[in-house]
């Protein structure tokens, strides 16, 4: 009898030590069936066993009441609404578009806890069959993954996505930009093009520019707002794309002269045309100029490329254009110019040895 009591005490002591962490906190565990059909263990830690047990029970109850009764489609919409206040209007608009177009099918009506990696893989394959680009599929899948991470953090998503294609970017030359400028008869459009090409500004930043942001004495433009479309397609003023996007940009004499030609009042918007009108008029100017077609946003690529070709360090190019430090997007934009320059140098190298026979 004495040995039996001793063994029981030893087991209790061993269990107590096992559940008590080095910090003194108590850990309890709960087993549950995952979406992959396997049994998983989740730990809960608190100062006392009662508190840890309460955390574990709350988690199980939350899982039972919310996740069990929610479909993939509903979960995606809940995720968008919960993140709406902290995401940019453009991101929310994109998410709502994805929800309306790609989360209304049979897959999306499945209960969240019933979904498996096989279901997700078949859904991705369906998107491929419907002709969606690898980039769009990646973005749509990203919304689903973020939703699963919020509602089912222990679900290990393992899905193969189609290989993304390298974007076919065209970076205009100085000659291209000059021809488009010459084909732009609207004074406001000339200023718009110069702000993008020489000022490295985004279209939304240009559209939101006010006369309070323009300093003719110091030849600088202060970028503190941007225009963006919300989920309803309505343009509105918002904060710039990133924290680094708020910046003061020194401008060339040509840019300031173009702005000075428009200066009729001391406050209010600089431009009377909308962001959409800027794009439309720019396309017409490109067509009239006869140059290789390129987008308005490619003027930013041109600007970054020119600065890079001039030997300006990346951190200064990033600061001027409002890119994040180490931005791969910014580096990719001037790669075209680097390739063109490489071809010119290769031609010179071959000419240097042309007389050898």
pLDDT tens, per residue, the chain with 357 residues: 555 555 555 554 544 556 777 777 888 888 766 545 567 788 888 888 888 888 888 777 666 555 557 899 999 999 999 888 888 777 888 899 999 999 999 999 998 888 899 999 999 999 999 999 898 999 999 999 999 988 887 788 999 999 876 656 677 889 999 999 999 988 999 999 999 999 999 999 999 999 999 999 999 999 998 888 766 667 778 877 666 678 999 999 999 999 999 988 888 999 999 999 999 999 999 999 999 999 999 998 888 888 887 888 888 888 888 888 877 766 666 555 555 556 666 676 677 666 675
pTM score, two decimals? 0.60
Which CATH number is associated with domain 174-343? 1.10.443.10
Which CATH architecture describes the domain 72-151? Orthogonal Bundle (1.10)
In this structure, are residues 200 and 304 in contact, taking their beta carbons and an 8 Å threshold?
A: yes
In this structure, are residues 303 and 196 in contact, taking their beta carbons and an 8 Å threshold?
A: yes
Q: Where are the domains of the chain?
A: 72-151, 174-343
At residue 348, the 3 state secondary structure works out as helix
For tokens 């309070």, what's the residue? 212
The Cα-based distances of 71 to 65, 77, 118 in angstroms read 13, 10, 17
In this structure, are residues 44 and 18 in contact, taking their beta carbons and an 8 Å threshold?
A: no
Q: Euclidean distance between the first and final Cα of the chain, in Å?
A: 105
Q: Which of 66, 55, 68 is nearest to 29 (CA)?
A: 55
């Amino acid at each position: 009898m004495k040995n039996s009591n001793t063994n029981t005490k030893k087991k209790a002591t061993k269990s107590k030590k096992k559940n008590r962490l080095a910090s003194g906190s108590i850990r309890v565990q709960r087993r549950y069936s995952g979406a992959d059909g396997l049994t998983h263990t989740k730990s809960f830690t608190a100062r006392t066993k009662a508190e840890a047990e309460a955390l574990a029970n709350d988690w199980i109850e939350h899982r039972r009441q919310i996740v069990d009764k929610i479909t993939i489609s509903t979960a995606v919409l809940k995720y968008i609404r919960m993140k709406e206040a902290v995401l940019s209007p453009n991101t929310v608009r994109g998410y709502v578009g994805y929800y309306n177009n790609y989360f209304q099918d049979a897959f999306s009506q499945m209960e969240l806890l019933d979904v498996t990696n096989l279901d997700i893989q078949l859904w991705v394959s369906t998107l491929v069959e419907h002709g969606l680009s690898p980039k769009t599929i990646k973005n749509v899948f990203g919304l689903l993954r973020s939703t699963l991470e919020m509602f089912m953090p222990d679900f290990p998503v393992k899905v193969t996505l189609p290989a993304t294609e390298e974007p076919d970017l065209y970076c205009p030359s100085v000659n291209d930009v000059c021809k488009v400028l010459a084909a732009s008869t609207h004074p406001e459009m000339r200023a718009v093009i110069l702000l993008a090409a020489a000022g490295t500004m985004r279209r939304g930043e240009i559209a939101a520019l006010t006369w309070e942001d323009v300093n003719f004495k110091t030849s600088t433009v202060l970028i503190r707002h941007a225009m963006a479309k919300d989920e309803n397609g309505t343009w509105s003023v918002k904060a710039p794309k990133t924290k680094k996007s708020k910046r003061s940009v020194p401008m060339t004499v040509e840019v300031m002269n173009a702005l000075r030609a428009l200066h009729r009042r001391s406050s209010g918007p600089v431009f009377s045309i909308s962001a959409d009108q800027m794009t439309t008029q720019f396309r017409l100017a490109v067509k009239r100029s006869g140059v290789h077609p390129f987008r308005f946003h490619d003027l930013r690529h041109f600007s970054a490329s020119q600065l890079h070709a001039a030997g300006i360090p990346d951190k200064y190019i990033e600061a001027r254009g409002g890119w994040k430090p180490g931005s791969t997007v910014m580096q990719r934009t001037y790669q075209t110019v680097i390739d063109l320059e490489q071809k010119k140098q290769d031609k010179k190298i071959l000419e240097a040895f042309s007389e050898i026979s």
